[in-house]
Structure 1
Amino acid sequence: MDAHHHFWHPARGDYGWMPPDDPVLARPYGPADLAPALEATGISRTILVQAAPTTHETEYLLGLADGTDHVAGVVGWIDFERPEEIETIRRLAAHPKFLGLRPMIQDIVDDAWMLRDDLDWAFRAICDLDLTFDALGFPRHIEHFNTLFARYPSMRAVLDHCLKPTIADESPECFDEWARGIARLASGSTAYCKLSGLVTEAMENWRDEDLAFYSDHVLEVFGAERVMWGSDWPVCRLRCSYEDWHRTARQLVDHLGEAEKAQVFGRSAETFYRLA
């Protein structure tokens, strides 16, 4: 299973983060574009994740999911700053392929945004409706996520992209700070972690061993049963193909037993997202 990928169409107009002239990103990506990579890697189920801060995009993704057999579920977006959106959450939650929510915290200026009292309604709705929360952030958000997860202990949360460690920096200090923070999140909460996004945080001429420091640490502190592989396609194409990242990830977990590998490449995501 691929626990994290995107489809998008820039002409929709709500991908403000996307450089309009980027030759890799600024083009449409849909099911037909991903199909050859899924066939080549033998992946039959995926989780489709929002990439725009609009409910319209979430509805667009649910429409794609309805017509795409391999999409097992959608992680969408709502405006956490509008309590009246509770009705939107309830409506989305009624869709059989709607799994949870992902506010784009990495793009929000206030690092402690998720701890604002006026957002409590949204996090309580996630818990009450048994939805999931994808935590999209950077190492500087680690302590705030620690506080958030302690505040809502029943919330099913997963860290996207290992919280984007600065792999390209190659600084021991940066690694140690990230590693300590990730370990605190792993031991202090029930959160899962997505083994995804690492290639795009590395240098263009990245090596497998550059990523292994990070994947090994995540697997050690979370355990394979709380780690799930995701492609982050098409963003991964900034560094390599879908197939190359999948092959690299397989190599990064090669030291694990077969049962643990099965957790990382399917069962952990199925458990977390409660997929039949």
Structure 2
Amino acid sequence: MIIDAHQHFWHKKDDVDHGPGSRSRSYLPDQLEPILHERNINKTIAVQALPTLEENDFLLNIASDREEVIGVVGWVELDDSQAIQILAAYKEDPHFVGIRPMIQDLPSEWLLKSTVLDNLNKLADDGFPIDLQANPRHLPVIIELLERIPHIHCVIDHIAKPSINTGQIEPWASHMRKIAEYPNIMCKVSGLVPEKVGASWTTKSIYPYVEHVLDIFGSKRIMFGSDWPVCLKSASYPEVVQLFEDTVTSQLSEREDVFYNNATRFYRLEDKL
């Protein structure tokens, strides 16, 4: 069994074609399903790509119709005193398995706002999964967040998008090492290829970053994600799978954890499989 723990669906939003992997093209289940079948990937987690409640409904409707979509990581406005009540209604749907505040587009300090912290603390008490769409600039703030709420259950998306194109590894590496000290934090090895149409990349240049993540998180706290269709800007789905094989599973004797067990445990999918 293999779970792709990070992929997206959307309808096109722009009449001007900006190339593969962009919002100017639609990417829907009928396009992904044959690719999954070809790669022997059984289930996916559909992750929100817009910070709206309508996005939750869109993805949950897909999950209810498609057996390959086992879960949805949605969105609620955490800087809202009513966030937990709003979330409670979505949690009644068994496909709603987590949330992702879109911190990539927010000031780093947003995570430390009083209302956000209060809501995150309540989610931590419940053990509810949270994806953190982090860039390197967010990592010091995430460390402070973990000092305040050490029992929070989070996964760092896309290994926090270090500057692979420049080869710079610090201070990203040190910050990630500190974050990995918290046992409830996982890391998605996803989103490693450039988000620029036609950009070049090599496994050799990516490998040191993945090696560091594997070293500090270990095989029990990383998971595979394709980041389809965003990955299509510079790589095909098979190329992304091969990249994971070359940088992660080639270093491990046990594949089932990174391809299945870790995502199942983090998103609490045991009763859904």
Note whether the superposition's TM-score is higher than 0.5: yes
- State the 1:39 CA deviation: 0.9
Q: How does 1:52-91 map to 2 (within 5 A)?
A: 52-91=50-89
Inter-partner Cα distance in structure 2 for 1:269 and 1:70: 15
Q: How does 1:193-204 map to 2 (within 5 A)?
A: 193-200=187-194, 204=199
Q: Could you tell me which residue of structure 2 aligns to residue 10 of structure 1?
A: 12
Inter-partner Cα distance in structure 2 for 1:226 and 1:212: 18
Alignment match of 1:253 (pick from 230, 248, 257)? 248
Q: Could you tell me which residue of structure 2 aligns to residue 274 of structure 1?
A: 268
Q: Deviations over 1:16-35 (max 9, x none)?
A: xx896422212111111101
Alignment match of 1:216 (pick from 211, 217, 237)? 211
- State the 1:129 CA deviation: 4.0
Q: Deviations over 1:52-100 (max 9, x none)?
A: 0101111110110111101111100011222123321010111101111
Contact 1:165/1:201 (8 A) holds in 2 = no
Structure 1: unaligned runs, 5 residues or longer: 12-17
TM-score relative to the length of structure 1: 0.91
Q: Could you tell me which residue of structure 1 aligns to residue 231 of structure 2?
A: 236
Alignment match of 2:129 (pick from 122, 128, 132)? 132
Inter-partner Cα distance in structure 2 for 1:201 and 1:23: 11
Q: Is 1:262 aligned to 2:256, yes or no?
A: yes
Contact 2:133/2:160 (8 A) holds in 1 = yes
Q: Secondary structure at the match of 1:52?
A: coil
Contact 2:187/2:222 (8 A) holds in 1 = yes
- State the 1:229 CA deviation: 0.7
Identity across the alignment (%):
35
The 4+ residue runs of structure 1 with deviation greater than 6 A are none
- State the 1:152 CA deviation: 2.0
Contact 1:106/1:136 (8 A) holds in 2 = yes
Alignment match of 1:162 (pick from 139, 159, 162)? 159
Letter of the structure 1 residue corresponding to residue 8 of structure 2: H
Q: Is 1:23 aligned to 2:19, yes or no?
A: yes
Inter-partner Cα distance in structure 2 for 1:275 and 1:130: 13
- State the 1:264 CA deviation: 1.2
Letter of the structure 1 residue corresponding to residue 260 of structure 2: G
Inter-partner Cα distance in structure 1 for 2:92 and 2:177: 35
